[in-house]
């Protein structure tokens, strides 16, 4: 009997694990495309960050230097994400914000680090990470966002 248990126990674990994974369905975002469609719509750098969860090289984004009034939108779908008024210099080499325009515009996912992954709530694109080391005089949060995941719309063009 003990041999039978040892023989079938791994199968029991697999079937339990499989049903648990089945219950975790991937979120369906309002803007959904196939990988081929995303590749056609995005530059290779945008695709690597937004769809494959890559990270651009620190200090490489021209958006680090943007301080004029305006809105930072998702480069994949145009969802309004951050305002210049919430941008700050974190010294990390990536555009940093203390909060999004609206919490409903972003999703957060545990990422196995001391941070949460930040995703566009409209298309599921990977934006960057949120840390708890932001400005203490505001939210205390730092949204460390890949510049290639964003487009900037100056306030006078909105």
Contacts 24+ apart (CB under 8 A), 126-134: 126/49, 126/50, 126/51, 126/52, 126/53, 126/54, 127/50, 127/74, 127/81, 128/55, 128/94, 134/88, 134/90, 134/96, 134/98
Pick the catalytic residue: 77, 120, 123, 144?
144
Integer Cα distance of 16 and 21 in angstroms: 9
Question: Is 144 a residue of the active site?
Answer: yes
Catalytic residues: 144
């Amino acid at each position: 009997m003990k041999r039978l248990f040892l023989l079938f126990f791994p199968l029991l674990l697999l079937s339990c694990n499989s049903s648990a994974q089945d219950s975790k369905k991937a979120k369906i975002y309002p803007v959904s495309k196939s990988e081929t469609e995303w590749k056609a719509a995005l530059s290779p750098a945008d695709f690597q960050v937004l769809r494959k969860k890559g990270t651009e090289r620190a200090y490489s984004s021209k958006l680090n230097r943007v301080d004029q009034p305006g809105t930072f939108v998702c480069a994949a779908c145009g969802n309004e994400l951050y305002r210049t008024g919430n941008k700050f210099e974190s010294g990390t080499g990536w555009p940093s914000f203390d909060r999004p325009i609206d919490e409903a515009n972003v999703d957060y996912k545990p990422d196995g680090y001391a941070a949460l992954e930040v995703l566009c709530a409209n298309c599921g694109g990977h934006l960057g990470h949120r840390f708890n080391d932001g400005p203490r005089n505001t939210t205390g949060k730092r949204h460390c966002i890949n510049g290639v995941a964003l487009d900037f719309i100056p306030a006078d063009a909105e």
